[in-house]
Amino acid sequence: MALRSIWVSVLCSGIAVGFAAACSSDNSSSGSTDGGTGGTTSTGGTTSTGGKATGGTTTGTGGKATGGTTTGTGGKPGTGGTTTDGGDAGPAVTSYCGGKTGADQIACGAYIVTSLDACGDCHTPRLPSGAPDTTKILAGNPSFADLDPASPTIGNIPTPNLTQLGKKGWTAKDITTAILTGVDKAGLGLFPIMPYQLFHNMAQVDADAIAAYILSLTPIDPDTPVRQPLPSPISQLPLPVAVLDGAKVPDPVFTATDSADVKTSAEFGKYLAGQLGPCIDCHSPRLQNQQVDSSNLFAGGETFVIGDPFGTVTSLNITQSTNGIKGWTADDVAQVIQKGIDKDKTPLCPPMPFGPRGAFAGLKTADVHDIAEYITHLPAVESPSDGATWPMCVPPPPPPPPDAGKDASSSDASKD
């Protein structure tokens, strides 16, 4: 079984890979970036700026473009800047939390963490039933993944307690470095279960908002994590692995009949699904070195060994391939995200964090629409996963009553 399947077989028991296992490697050999710009080197790997776009320069006399910014929570990309004296506008600087400060920034970061990136799926301990312990949201999982279940002394990996990072001396810079480059506070590389390869391409202001939210959390006392030695060959994997070149995230492909609104929506959806969110992580195959296969982005083929009653699930090719989702509408994709039901009314399987019980239940309708427009405008990619299907899943149990638990880790500011 591939390394990726081994990890996922344990970590994805009914959950999705979000802001996942930030566990340091036993070696800190340097990794290389996959085309990042403006990179600086730190212990444990080469980092880069996280793919922030910059405003373009103009060709007109004296004109300079400023680069667009977003407006409001979930705002669409800016127009690309203003020009003077005939200059051309530069490219938009896409972000979600741009321009937000204080409580607004924390609330925006909270939305990314809890809904868009489903971080709690991996960073929350589980009850004996397998359900998340809602009194310890983001307090880490002391037994998140066991890479060698046959051994009692090798392979157990906890996810860190995010509510304790500030107390342990992590700064906002430490947190954003981990998110964007896969290098922790000690300078060690993180496992690629944590999708820093993809998060590398989110805007710095959004990483800043995530950090602000995490540092606002009320610390929750953790269970004592047990970090065991890693089994071979995983222990030999150079970490961090190379990040994904943001230029390889596919642009939406439009037809002559697509309206300006559809184009704007799909373009922002690209940022939500391909740079800020983790969709690529589950819907793209991995190479032997655990890097995302950039030639098959969104083409499916990842294996998730979920266990009873679901068995093994293979992620679907969600491009416009004939064996993907060609012919699906944006409403079809939105139904998957919000209700966990596909185009043919078939219930989906974990680890997709669909509503109404999963993290995606918290997504705003506008964001769901933008993601759906992007997905339905992805260029077709034929891949070995073509023909894979989601098996029939049993209907999920009803949601718990409203008073069954609450996010005890959130500060008041994060609830705005």
DSSP 275: I
Per-residue pLDDT band for 33 (boundaries 50, 70, 90) equals very low
Q: Are 384 and 114 within 8 A, CB to CB?
A: no
pTM over 0.75: no
For 323-368, what is each residue's pLDDT tens digit? 889 999 999 999 999 998 888 888 887 778 888 888 999 999 999 9
Beta strand segments in 199-341, E? 303-307, 311-314
Q: How many domains does the chain have?
A: 2
Give the residue numbers spanning the domain of 31.
16-51+67-74+90-226
* Per-residue pLDDT at 25: 35
Q: Are residues 43 and 187 in the same domain?
A: yes
Q: Are residues 194 and 262 in the same domain?
A: no
> Cα-flanking dihedrals φ and ψ of residue 35, to 5°?
90, 15
Q: Which sign, positive or negative, has the C-alpha torsion 11, 13, 17, 21?
A: negative
Q: Are residues 192 and 264 in the same domain?
A: no
- 125-131 own/partner pairs: CB under 8 Å, 24+ apart: 125/223, 126/13, 130/13, 130/14, 131/400
Question: What's the chain's Rg over C-alpha atoms?
Answer: 21
Which residue, of 170, 195, 226, is where some domain finishes? 226
User: Residue 410 falls within a domain, yes or no?
Assistant: no
* Per-residue pLDDT at 93: 55
The residue ranking higher by pLDDT, 348 or 118, is 118
Cα–Cα distance between 231 and 141 in angstroms, integer?
20
User: Residue 309 falls within a domain, yes or no?
Assistant: yes
Q: Which of 297, 43, 276 is nearest to 182 (CA)?
A: 43
Q: Are residues 183 and 274 in the same domain?
A: no
Q: Does residue 2 register a pLDDT over 60?
A: no
Q: Are residues 275 and 206 in the same domain?
A: no
Q: Are residues 270 and 397 in the same domain?
A: yes
Q: Are residues 274 and 139 in the same domain?
A: no
> Cα-flanking dihedrals φ and ψ of residue 145, to 5°?
-140, 140
* Per-residue pLDDT at 68: 38
For 140-189, what is each residue's pLDDT tens digit? 998 887 878 888 899 888 889 999 999 999 999 999 999 999 999 999 89
User: Residue 84 falls within a domain, yes or no?
Assistant: no
Q: Does residue 38 register a pLDDT over 90?
A: no
Q: Are residues 286 and 219 in the same domain?
A: no
Which residue, of 171, 192, 226, is where some domain finishes? 226
* Per-residue pLDDT at 384: 58
Least confident segment among 32-36, 56-60, 179-183, 346-350: 56-60
CB atoms within 10 A of CB 9: 20
Cα–Cα distance between 103 and 415 in angstroms, integer?
9
Which residue, of 194, 226, 258, is where some domain finishes? 226
User: Residue 60 falls within a domain, yes or no?
Assistant: no
User: Residue 131 falls within a domain, yes or no?
Assistant: yes
**Residue 142 in 3-state DSSP?**
strand
